[in-house]
């Protein structure tokens, strides 16, 4: 999947489309969220080995990762019944406002739905952003080790 940006064309892919991106993607996600690279590698390897259909989605500008997200069982919160979770949603600042995150979110939701998985959940502190892409506020949940509550969204 491609779309235009100021410098050319974005490429939207799953990690299965470009398994050679696993190491760069693990480093990139780690640099954004400070979750250990090994945790990302482990989830990504399970996806590449088809041990799970919970995938990893990337947006590339040329060969550079400029956006991404993953799908995991639980995004570090106490509501283990609300699964799977979109996680690690991030777009590089100079690529924001161009629909990168929305396109990645839609890819993940569509892939999961095609595999019979719906609804999907997402933990965030943002308000107003995810609603643009069909997500609805569901409830407040307690993040692991977090002092306050966070917003849980659902995409049906």
Q: What is the mean pLDDT of the chain?
A: 94
Q: What is the pLDDT of residues 66-99, one digit of tens each?
A: 999 999 999 999 999 999 999 999 999 999 999 9
Is 60 exceeded by the pLDDT of residue 2? no
The pLDDT value given to residue 8: 58
The pLDDT value given to residue 105: 98
Q: Domain-by-domain residue ranges, the chain? A: 2-74+83-118
pLDDT band at 7; cut points 50, 70, 90: very low
Mean pLDDT, rounded, for 23-48: 97
36: buried, middle or exposed (CB in 10 Å: 19+, 13-18, 0-12)?
exposed
Nearest 5°: the CA angle 108, 109, 110 is 90
Residues 15, 22 contacting (CB under 8 angstroms): yes
Q: What is the pLDDT of residues 129-141, one digit of tens each?
A: 999 999 999 999 9
Please report, rounded to a whole number, the percentage of residues in the chain having pLDDT higher than 90: 92
Mean pLDDT, rounded, for 109-117: 96
> Does CATH number 3.40.50.150 belong to domain 2-74+83-118?
no
The pLDDT value given to residue 129: 95
Phi/psi-derived region of residue 131, left when phi > 0, alpha when psi is between -120 and 50, beta in every other case: alpha
State which H helix or E strand residue 60 sits in: strand 56-61
The pLDDT value given to residue 115: 95
Mean pLDDT, rounded, for 49-78: 97
Token code pair at residue 88: 């690690």
109: buried, middle or exposed (CB in 10 Å: 19+, 13-18, 0-12)?
buried
Closest CA to 56 of 78, 81, 39, 36: 39
Give, as one character, the DSSP assignment of residue 93. G
């Amino acid at each position: 999947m491609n779309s235009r940006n100021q410098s050319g064309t974005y490429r939207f892919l799953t990690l299965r489309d470009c398994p050679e991106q696993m190491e760069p993607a693990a480093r990139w996600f780690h640099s954004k969220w400070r979750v250990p690279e090994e945790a990302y590698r482990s989830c990504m390897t399970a996806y590449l080995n088809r041990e799970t259909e919970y995938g990893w989605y990337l947006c590339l500008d040329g060969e550079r990762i400029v956006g991404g997200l993953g799908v995991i069982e639980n995004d570090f919160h106490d509501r283990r019944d609300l699964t799977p979770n979109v996680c690690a949603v991030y777009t590089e600042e100079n690529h924001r406002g161009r629909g990168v995150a929305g396109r990645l979110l839609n890819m993940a939701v569509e892939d999961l739905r095609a595999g019979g998985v719906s609804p999907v959940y997402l933990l965030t502190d943002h308000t107003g952003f995810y609603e643009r892409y069909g997500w609805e506020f569901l409830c407040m949940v307690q993040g692991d080790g977090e002092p306050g509550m966070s917003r849980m969204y659902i995409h049906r």
